[in-house]
Amino acid sequence: MKYSIGLAARWLFLAFLVSLVPLGIALIGPLPAPRPFWTEFGVGLGFVGMGLMILQFVASGRFAWVAPRFGADVVLQFHSRTGVIGVILVLAHPVILLLSDTEYLEYFDPRVNFLRALALSFVTVALIAILVTSQWREGVGLNYEWWRLIHGGLSLAIVFVGMVHGIQVSHYLDTLAQKGVWAAVALGAMYLVVHTRVVRPLTAKNRPYRIVDMQEERGNAWSMWLEPDGHPGMDYRAGQYVWFTVGDPPYKLQQHPFSVSAGEDPSRLRLTAAELGDFTSTWKDIEPGTRAYLQGPFGAFTLEPDAPGAVFIVGGIGVTPAMSMLHSLRQQSDSRPAYLFYGNPAWEEVTFREELAELKRELDLTVVHVLEEPPDDWDQVDGNGEEGFIDQELLDKYLPPNRKELNYYICGPTPLMDVAEESLRNLGVSWKRIYTERFEIV
Amino acid sequence: MLHRDLMWAANGLGIASLLAALIFAFARAL
Give, for A70, the enclosing helix (H) or strand (E): helix A67-70
Inter-chain touch B29–A35, beta carbons under 8 Å: yes
Task: Count interface pairs A-B at CB distance under 8 A.
Answer: 107
- Tell me how close the Cα of A237 comes to any Cα of chain B, in angstroms: 19
Position A91 scores a pLDDT of: 98
Inter-chain residue contact A71 with B1, CB threshold 8 Å: yes
pLDDT, position A71: 67
- Tell me what the mean pLDDT of segment A92-109 comes to: 96
Q: What is the pLDDT of residues A190-245, one digit of tens each?
A: 998 888 888 877 777 788 999 999 999 999 888 999 999 999 888 888 998 888 88
- Please answer yes or no on whether B6 and A44 come within 8 Å at the CB atom: no
Distance to chain A for B3, nearest Cα, Å = 8
CA distances from A61 to A55, A64, A107, A162, A201 (A): 10, 9, 33, 20, 13
* Helix H or strand E segment including A31: none
Q: Which residue has the higher pLDDT, A301 or A426?
A: A426
pLDDT in tens, A328-364: 999 999 999 999 999 999 999 999 999 999 999 999 9
B19 Cβ under 8 Å from any chain A Cβ: no
Is B24 in the A-facing interface, judged by CB distances under 8 Å? yes
Residue B22 backbone zone (phi > 0: left; psi -120 to 50: alpha; other: beta): alpha
Tell me phi and psi for residue A305, to 5 degrees.
-80, 5
> Which chain B residue has the Cα nearest residue A87?
B14
Which chain B residues are closer than 8 Å to A434 by Cβ?
1-2
Please check the confidence at residue A172 and state whether its pLDDT lies above 80. Answer: yes
Any idea which of A54-58, A250-254, A433-437 has the lowest mean pLDDT?
A: A250-254
Give the CA distances from residue A169 to residues A45, A46, A287, A305, in Å, rounded to whole numbers and listed in that order: 15, 12, 57, 55
DSSP 8-state class, residue A207: S
| Contact assessment for residue A129 and residue A154, using Cβ atoms and an 8 Å cutoff | yes
Sequence-ordered list of residues with C-beta below 8 angstroms from that of A149, at least 6 positions apart, any chain: A253
Distance CA A385, CA A387 (A): 7
A393: CB partners within 8 A, 6+ apart? none
- Are residues A411 and A71 in contact, defined by beta-carbon separation less than 8 angstroms? no
A29-33 contacts: CB < 8 A, separation 24 or more?
A29/A172, A29/A173, A29/A174, A29/A175, A29/A177, A29/A178, A30/A174, A30/A175, A31/A172, A31/B28, A32/A171, A32/A172, A32/A174
Task: Answer whether B21 sits within 8 Å of A52, measured CB to CB.
Answer: no
Give the pLDDT band of residue A175 (cuts 50, 70, 90).
Answer: very high
In 10 A of CB A282, how many CB atoms?
A: 12
Q: Quick check: A23 and B20 CB within 8 A?
A: yes
Indicate whether A67 pLDDT > 80.
no
Q: What is the pLDDT of residue B12?
A: 96
B13–A contact, CB cutoff 8 A:
yes
Whether pLDDT at A139 is above 60? yes
Q: CB A48 to CB B21 under 8 A?
A: yes
Contacts of A16 in chain B (CB under 8 A): 13, 16-17
CB contact (8 A) between residue A421 and residue B16: no
Is residue A241 within 8 A of residue A296, CB to CB? The reply is yes
Q: How close A203 gets to chain B, by Cα (Å)? A: 32
CB-CB neighbors (< 8 A) of A82 in chain B = 10, 13-14
CB-CB contact of A441 with A77 (8 Å): yes
Higher pLDDT: A129 or A273? It is A129
DSSP A389: -
* Runs of H (alpha helix) within A274-400: 319-331, 353-362, 378-381, 392-398
Q: Do B5 and A74 touch (CB under 8 A)?
A: no
pLDDT of A257 over the 80 cut = no
Using CB atoms, pick whichever of B17, B25, B30 lies closest to residue A51: B17
Q: Using one digit for the tens of pLDDT, what is the confidence trace for B1-30?
A: 678 888 999 999 999 999 999 999 999 987
C-alpha dihedral, A46 to A48 to A50 to A51, nearest 10°:
170
- A62, pLDDT greater than 60: no
Sign of CA dihedral A124, A125, A126, A129: positive
Chain A neighbors of B9, CB-CB under 8 A: 8, 12, 78
The answer to whether the CB atoms of B3 and A44 lie below 8 A apart is: no
Q: Which of A44, A85, A417 sits opposite B24 (nearest CB)?
A: A44
Q: Calculate how close chain A gets to B10, using CA atoms only, in Å.
A: 6
CB atoms within 10 A of CB A106: 12
pTM here is: 0.81
Sequence letter at residue A280: T
For A304-334, how does the pLDDT look when each residue is reduced to its tens digit (9 = 90+)? 888 899 999 999 999 999 999 999 999 999 9
The whole-chain average pLDDT of chain A stands at 89
The helix (run of H) or strand (run of E) holding residue A259 is strand A256-259
Give the per-residue pLDDT at A64. 53
For residue A319, which phi and psi values (nearest 5 degrees)? -70, -20
| A113: pLDDT strictly greater than 70 | yes
